[in-house]
């Protein structure tokens, strides 16, 4: 990961102004997760262009939704001729996964004087990349500067990727479709490996393996509901695993 000037646990934490901590968060735009996210948005720009979504619509989607899977679901619903209500439900369901991430992240970023009116708008920027990078780096940031640091990270990630989509969309005629497809899959591959390695509990591995094994079968049986059903069934499998492990750990 690129050096952002954030101290490690072994180094002494430097004194910084609020602007300094904001810029420290913004500097993580050069980190490996952020760069991979930008390449994925290169693929998204091509996907949007090929499906008849205008450049203004594509950039607005990135900035306002700020969840790449939800944007893909939205474009798929548009191209499939879904109703507005069905599209809203599909996008909403694809974004429910962010709720536990927000719940876990807020206690880490909240300072002693943090106000809800500041937390609510900044919660918009909590997505997988910001969450993974933030959870790794926030422990090195003073508690009262964590929200400022995250604001720099989240706002910069969103703004830069919105600009990336606009630029690539404008240049999309010069990109072969195969390049778009390859770049598009970098983000899920990266986060699959990073989430596997960062898991602190075996149940996370069970959930991931369950999803990977179940999805092809469920997609074949019910392609219109594959993501929803995979998450539901995979969750039941993981829940069963957790309960079995708890029963085994109880003294007889």
Cα–Cα distance, 224 to 238 (Å, whole number) = 23
Cα distance between residue 20 and residue 7, in whole Å:
13
What per-residue confidence (pLDDT) applies to 36? 84
Tell me the backbone φ, ψ of residue 80, rounded to 5 degrees.
Answer: -85, -5
DSSP class of residue 6 equals: -
Q: Which residues contact 83 (CB under 8 A, 6 or more apart)?
A: none
For position 217, what pLDDT does the model report? 92
Residue 236, pLDDT score: 92
**Run of H or E residues at 180:** helix 177-184
From first to last of its 252 residues, what are the pLDDT tens digits of the chain? Answer: 444 455 444 344 567 888 999 999 999 999 888 888 888 888 888 888 888 889 999 999 999 998 888 888 888 888 878 788 878 887 887 788 788 888 888 888 988 888 888 888 999 999 888 888 888 888 889 998 999 999 999 999 999 999 999 998 888 766 777 777 777 676 677 667 766 766 667 888 888 899 889 989 988 888 877 777 888 898 899 999 999 988 887 775
Q: Note the pLDDT of residue 154.
A: 94
Question: What are 236's two structure tokens?
Answer: 């039941």
Q: Are 247 and 231 contacting, i.e. CB atoms less than 8 angstroms apart?
A: no
Q: In sequence order, which residues have a C-beta less than 8 Å from that of residue 173 and are 6 or more positions away? A: none
Q: Which residues lie below 8 Å from residue 22, measured CB to CB, with a gap of 6+?
A: 148, 149, 151, 152
pLDDT value for 2: 44
**Residues in the chain, overall count:** 252
For residue 199, the model assigns a pLDDT of: 67
Quote the pLDDT of residue 57: 93
């Amino acid at each position: 990961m690129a050096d952002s000037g954030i101290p490690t646990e072994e180094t002494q934490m430097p004194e910084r102004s609020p602007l300094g901590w904001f810029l420290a968060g913004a500097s993580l735009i050069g980190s490996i997760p952020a760069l991979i996210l930008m390449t994925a948005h290169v693929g998204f720009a091509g996907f949007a262009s090929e499906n008849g979504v205008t450049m203004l619509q594509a950039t607005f989607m990135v900035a306002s939704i700020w969840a790449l899977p939800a944007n893909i679901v939205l474009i798929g619903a548009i191209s499939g001729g879904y109703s507005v209500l069905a599209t809203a439900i599909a996008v909403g369901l694809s974004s429910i996964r962010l709720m536990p991430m927000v719940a876990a992240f807020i206690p880490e970023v909240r300072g002693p004087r943090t106000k809800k009116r500041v937390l609510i708008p900044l919660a918009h920027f909590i997505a997988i990349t910001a969450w993974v990078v933030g959870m790794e780096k926030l422990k090195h940031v003073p508690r009262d500067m964590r929200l400022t640091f995250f604001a720099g990270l989240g706002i910069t990630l969103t703004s830069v990727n919105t600009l990336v989509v606009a630029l690539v969309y404008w240049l999309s005629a010069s990109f072969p479709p195969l390049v778009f497809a390859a770049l598009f899959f970098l983000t899920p591959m990266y986060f699959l490996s990073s989430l596997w390695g960062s898991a602190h509990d075996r149940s996370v591995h069970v959930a991931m393996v369950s999803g990977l094994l179940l999805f092809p079968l469920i997609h074949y049986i019910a392609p219109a509901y594959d993501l929803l059903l995979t998450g539901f069934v995979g969750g039941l499998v993981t829940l069963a695993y957790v309960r079995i492990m708890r029963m085994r750990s109880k003294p007889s």
